[in-house]
Every structure is written in structure tokens, then in C-alpha cells.
Amino acid sequence: AVLPSVALNVGDTVPLEIWRTPLAAVSRSGTNTIALEDYKGKAIILDFWASWCAPCLEHMPYLDSLHREKKAGLQVIMMNASSSRDGFLTEGKFIKEYLGLHPNFITPFVLRSDLYRQYFFFKVVPHYIWIGADGSIKAITDHKALTSDNISKFISGANLSLPIKLR
């Protein structure tokens, strides 16, 4: 498979266009607009997920608890992987139900961004993009790399040599 020419890799700097793109974020308080630039200077993990993906759902509470514990230096954003209008509606309903069942969940859920899908190209979820506080991509992983130790190293700016997930 040929990757789109804009697909970013480990070591690449996230372009300004991505930092500034408005994203519709769903939380317990409703829907609001966020942008990656709101979290500049923090370590950021983009979690591309789908409601039918068991490992995705399994790791959401864990990532949210790490986000809560380390929020001074870490921002996690749950990026829905759906690319269709039907998927968008289904996932939106799923998010509202999920938040109803997890009242303490603080991590924002983003419903679909075609631009993010281009830049952070993937075919299989879960798909995690680790963006360092310096704005460059430090890792592209699956769920196996989401350890507290790896995330602490990531926040501190230490070098990560995590296996790169096949897209």
C-alpha cells in the first residue's frame, strides 16, 4: 500500500496546519472546539480508536487514568477513527453512552478529522501517535507500548526507542 505523501513519521515535526485545525471535542459537559495548539508544550498522545475495537476500549480507562495522574505534562486525545458519515453518527452515540458510564472520564473525544487521518495515516486501530513537547513525533505504536514507564519517559523528554507500529 502506498502511504499518502503527507503521512508523518517518527522524527517529523507536526505541521502548523495540524496544530491549528479546530476539532469537535465531546466531553461530559457537551461539545466544544479544541485544537492541538491548546496543548503545545505538553507531551500529547493521540489515540485513534473505534467502538468495535476491543483493545481500543480496554485501554481507554487506563489512558484516561494516566492522563489524570500526569496532566501537568501529558494530554491525551481520543481520536475517533471513523471515516464515514454513518460511522460518525454511530460513534457519536457511543461516546455519549460511554461518558454516561464513565462519569470521571476527563480525556476529550474527537469525532473524526479527515486531515488527521491523512497526516497520521493508519489502517488498523488502536493507533497511537506520541507527540513530544517539542512538537515532533516521538513514537507511533500499538497498545502494547502504553506502559506507565514509557509514558513517564515520554513526558520527561527522554529518548523513546519503541517499536514502530505497522500502519
Q: Across the 167 residues of the chain, what is the mean pLDDT of every consecutive 10-residue run?
A: 72 95 88 94 96 93 92 94 75 90 92 88 94 97 93 94 85
Of 130, 25, 154, 119, which Cα lies nearest the Cα of 78? Answer: 25
CA 151/CA 74 separation, integer angstroms: 9
Whether 118 contacts 85, CB under 8 Å: no
Give pTM, 2 decimals: 0.93
Q: Cα(165)–Cα(145) distance, rounded to whole angstroms?
A: 10
147: nearest Cα among 29, 75, 28, 66: 66
Task: Round to whole Å and give the CA distance between 110 and 133.
Answer: 21
Q: What integer pLDDT is reported at residue 167 of this predicted model?
A: 72
CA distance 11 to 4: 17
Cβ atoms of residues 158 and 79 within 8 Å: no
